[in-house]
Amino acid sequence: MKSISNSSLDTTVIDWPVHMQRAIDLAQRVRTATPNPRVGCVLVKGFEVIGEGWHVAAGEAHAEVVAIGNAGKTNTCTEAFVSLEPCAHTGRTAPCSEALIAAGVGKVIIASLDPNPQVAGKGVEQLEQAGVEVYQLVDFEDQSREMNPGYFKRREEGIPYVRLKLAMSLDGRTALANGQSKWITNKAARSDVQKLRASASAVITGINTVLTDDPSLNVRSAELPENQDGLESGAKELAHQPIRVVVDSQLRTPGTAKIICNEGSVKIYSTADFTVGKSLADNVEIVKATVSGEGVDLQFVLESLASDFSCNEVLVEAGPTLSGAFIEAGLVDELIVYIAPRLLGSDAKPLLEIHGLQSLAESHQFQVSHLDRIGDDIRVILKQAP
Ligand code: AOF
Ligand code: ZN
């Protein structure tokens, strides 16, 4: 495989970055293909695009196979631009390397290698053994990784990419002292949260939130319109419900909780002694967690979500205690903070339970990545400071 940068492309391949950017844009037509990565593919003959494809969901055809299907007949003059190294193994579907070879593609241009140990260079190897030239356009590697942060993190570090959502007043409060909290942020901000859920493999909350708010934490079609943000189809993504996860050390989740009664699978992480295999309902699995400090070991929860349930991106939607614990443990990759332009006063409930900092050097530092107005609210996206 040859690695090349945009600046070194000569006039015969000057259109390569355009096609690779298109492949990356196509991949992002779905919010998630969990547990698979989002992948796009563009087939080009001469200077003409003859087929395009993207991976819609696990179990469905991969991007390359969709593009080949759309192109009809291909031949050795064809170039395939793929945002990820073509797979070389038989998983839920047959290897894309073989599909590209059988279609007679002459050159395959990728943005990044696939960290899946079943692929990891083998896709490139198989293509090259069959006489296909393989190139990596290195300037696109960051984009390929950034659109699949959880897929790469799970494969490389063994834990998912963690987003923590917070909604607060201008003075950093989440509810009045009497508990009233519906709603601090406006409808547009709450609908935006639906998008976060729709892209998550799992939504994590704590037992206190289950007992006090009884949330559903599901994706609701009415609040997530079709064709939003240039997405391909509402239908497929609406079929995706993230796994709902409750951090519940003493196993207090009631069988009547909405989080359990709604369709979709639920995992409860508990340190309590319970009969293995005990369940509250058919869709609920209780997982014995290790202890850290006074509660469930959150690192354990993340490792389990990655290795046992193949979670790529997870969303924490919890109260001040669990949210604070995730931050204190340094496990949050991204904060999404919705700020409503209202003041709740100093006896209202705080955003996070984080205590005991003695110096500013100990404070938890993030970097602002995006700042947007959502209806009348403000959304700030922050990333963990390097
Ligand atoms: C590709 N093109 O569009 C995607 C790839 O179980 P399967 O058959 O869906 O395979 C899943 C694995 O295939 C996934 O873990 C990753 O290594 C690769 N994803 N590869 O060539 C695609 N989605
Ligand atoms: Zn594949």
- Determine whether the shortest distance from the Cβ of 116 to ligand 1 is under 6 A: yes
Question: pLDDT value at position 228?
Answer: 58
Contact 328, 279 (CB under 8 A): no
Report residues near ion ligand 2: CB below 5 Å: 62, 87, 96
- Determine whether the shortest distance from the Cβ of 327 to ligand 1 is under 6 A: no
Which atom of ligand 1 sits closest to the CA of residue 96? 21
Which atom of ligand 1 sits closest to the CA of residue 59? 9
Which residue has a Cα nearest atom 13 of ligand 1?
87
pLDDT mean over 321-328? 96
- Residue 235's nearest CA partner among 250, 251, 246, 224 is 224
- Residue 287's nearest CA partner among 270, 272, 300, 303 is 270
- Determine whether the shortest distance from the Cβ of 94 to ligand 1 is under 6 A: no
Contacts of 88 (CB under 8 A, 6+ apart): 95, 96, 97, 118, 119, 122, 123, 125, 126
Which atom of ligand 1 sits closest to the CA of residue 63? 3
234 band by pLDDT with thresholds 50, 70 and 90 = very low
CA of 62 to the centre of ligand 1 (A): 6
How far apart CA 127 and CA 108 sit, in angstroms, is 8
How far apart CA 371 and CA 374 sit, in angstroms, is 10
Contact 313, 32 (CB under 8 A): yes
Which atom of ligand 1 sits closest to the CA of residue 151? 15
pLDDT mean over 249-256? 92
Contact 334, 381 (CB under 8 A): yes
User: Has 52 been annotated as catalytic?
Assistant: no
Question: pLDDT value at position 147?
Answer: 96
Residue 277 in this model has a pLDDT that exceeds 90: no
Question: pLDDT value at position 276?
Answer: 59
The radius of gyration of the chain from alpha carbons, rounded to an integer in Å, stands at 23
CA of 6 to the centre of ligand 2 (A): 25
Which residue has a Cα nearest atom 20 of ligand 1?
87
Question: pLDDT value at position 230?
Answer: 57
Task: Write the burial class of residue 232 (CB in 10 Å: 0-12 exposed, 13-18 middle, 19+ buried).
Answer: middle
- Per-residue CA distances from 327 to 33, 142, 153, 321, 336 (Å): 27, 26, 18, 10, 13
Contacts of 349 (CB under 8 A, 6+ apart): 173, 174, 175, 176, 177, 179, 181, 320
Question: Which pair of tokens denotes residue 5?
Answer: 């940068």
Q: What is the mean pLDDT of the chain?
A: 91
CA of 65 to the centre of ligand 2 (A): 8
Which residue has a Cα nearest atom 10 of ligand 1?
91
pLDDT, tens digit, for every residue of 101-152? Answer: 999 999 999 999 999 998 889 999 999 999 999 999 999 999 999 999 999 9
pLDDT mean over 243-249? 97
Which atom of ligand 1 sits closest to the CA of residue 115? 17
- Determine whether the shortest distance from the Cβ of 127 to ligand 1 is under 6 A: no
Question: Which pair of tokens denotes residue 327?
Answer: 């931050």
pLDDT mean over 14-33? 94
How far apart CA 272 and CA 77 sit, in angstroms, is 62
Residue 13 in this model has a pLDDT that exceeds 90: no
pLDDT, tens digit, for every residue of 39-70? Answer: 999 999 988 999 999 999 999 999 999 999 99
CA of 13 to the centre of ligand 1 (A): 27
For the beta carbon of residue 356, count every other beta carbon within 10 angstroms.
Answer: 6
Task: From the candidates 48, 52, 60, 64, give the one annotated as an active-site residue.
Answer: 64
Which residue has a Cα nearest atom 12 of ligand 1?
36
Report the range of poorest mean pLDDT among 30-44, 186-200, 210-224, 321-335: 210-224
Q: Point out the ligand nearest to the CA of residue 33.
A: 1
- Determine whether the shortest distance from the Cβ of 114 to ligand 1 is under 6 A: yes
How far apart CA 263 and CA 261 sit, in angstroms, is 7
CA of 100 to the centre of ligand 2 (A): 10
Question: pLDDT value at position 214?
Answer: 93
Question: Which pair of tokens denotes residue 31?
Answer: 């919010």
Question: pLDDT value at position 229?
Answer: 58
| Percent of the chain predicted with pLDDT > 90 | 76
| Percent of the chain predicted with pLDDT > 70 | 95
CA of 202 to the centre of ligand 2 (A): 24
Residue 33 in this model has a pLDDT that exceeds 70: yes
- Determine whether the shortest distance from the Cβ of 64 to ligand 1 is under 6 A: yes
- Determine whether the shortest distance from the Cβ of 58 to ligand 1 is under 6 A: yes
